Structure 1
Amino acid sequence: MFGYALRRVASAIPVVLIAITLCFFILRLAPGGPFDGERALPPDVLKNLRAFYHLDQPLIVQYFIYVMGVFRGDLGPSMVMTDFSVSQLMLIGLPFTLTLGFSAFIIGTVLGLVAGALAALYQNRWPDYVLVFVVLIGLIIPNFLMANLLQLLFGVYLRWLPAGGYVPGSWIHMVLPITILVLPHGGRVARLMRGSMIEVLGTNYVRTARSKGLGTRLILARHAIKPALLPVVSYLGPGLSYLLTGSLVVEQVFALPGIGKYFITAALNRDYGLVLGTTILYMFIILVLNLIVDIVYAWLDPKVRYR
């Protein structure tokens, strides 16, 4: 297993390099730049800034300078937030984004597993119909629209919850953002769990267990839960990465101090270093999560062996 993990890491390096290359050249070739504001800078100041950030060098030279810095662990400076490096901004925003994403991941996964299992047990009966309807609502309505609807309902009209902003240490400001992220994630988990559980409950060994007089709880605990989890586990890695990247929109809507705020600001201001740094960070998170999912999948299914 350890050798497999090393091979996965080694095979991911070319993918990361290709992604960095594409992002680098797409950003550089896009119109505008980090110093193109409404008020033009004096020529001497602009020349010094371009020289400081190596923007006066040929594009291919800029690329190799940046890549060599990345391999040294240096994501470079922010060209708009001049008092901070990209790594410092990541360290400021990443803990909040991880807290938001992992909270929604745990809550959504638990609720989705329970809802999917109940829907499978009561297949084609009213609990199944109600749960499927709630799941579809979470899947159909986009995050930004659901966020605005819940802001209006609970933040403006009912005034039960804050409509935006964040106070350190106050979990009440996290309720609406986490809810927005939980709905689609829990819905996908519930759909996968329902379909997988229905399939498992119809297998021969489950029917044999029922014929021996085993109760429903015992059958679920001993025979159904573990094989039914396999499709869900395959989704959890991409699902968590979706939550962490999808939180960019939620953080912007609710004015939260996560990476999303820095990323969107950097994209609007052509802050090359911060956009590339955020992209590299999310690529790293996705690769790590997919590796963890592969290991957990092998633990759940003994038939899977990585050679």
Structure 2
Amino acid sequence: MSEAHRHGGVVVLGGGVIGLTTAVVLAERGTDVRVWSPEPPGATTSAVAGGLIWPYRIEPEKQALEWAVRSFRHFSWLAEQPPTTGVRLVRGRMPGSAPPPEWTALTGTPPRAPLVDMGTYLRYLRGRFEAAGGRWEQRAARSLTEAAAAAPTVVNCSGLGARQLVPDPTVSAVRGQVLVVEDPGIEEWYVAASDSARETTYILPQPYGVVLGGTADDGAEDREPAPATAAAIVERCAAVHPELATAAVLEHRVGLRPFRPSVRLEAERVPDGRGGTSLCVHNYGHGGAGVTVSWGCAVDAARLVGPPDPAG
């Protein structure tokens, strides 16, 4: 019998895609789960993500690929469900890049990969979590000890917040800026790396418009969109699809990816403030691939929490 079941519950810290997916996996196997999040899903970094299921800026590379492959299968299943999941399988192009054989076997040639409308998908995840008996609480944990005092098991999916919460000084922000424009009729996604590690050209057709990107500014934490950066993104994307040069801009977005030299997915004991300890499973530091590896990481995190109690 796991601690989560023997003593009554798990608190998951973080309401982005990593926290919500982990909470879904736990709740659907019968665990009593609460999510603590300082903001609703639509206000998290996950909501800014372009939504293409493809490994990007995450270490360790081999393990990340395994997580991504497992996640790909679940996203492919979601794409066959009603549109309320927000997931579609879409053809695309990635010139100048040779994916690992394991990834090519999944996506085919030309690649066909899941493309996720993150706003719709995060609402779907929260609904699926609550349908499984999970509870959402909009609150911020001031420390791991505070969360440990509330439950015998804590799952730390706090992303960039882990820098202060753990604290973990190896966590840093990688700023990403994108914009959304009216769709002039683009049906396939396009991703290409540039000569600069700070820039990538991507064009992702979504139901609400086309997402154009992007940037990767290590250590930058300014959340205000930079007009010059937006103009440069449009120029790069218009070199691929000239009609994007005059497409009406619908929205500018900035997100801070929670990067770490390697994902932290492990368990430890943390003080509960009462002289004892609680189990804490860390699941953070996914960089720019949080959505892509979310299901694979969630299953591994749930395994560290322990098996459900067959006696209920």
TM-score normalised by L of structure 2: 0.21
> Max radius of gyration: which structure?
1
- Normalised by the length of structure 1, the TM-score is 0.21
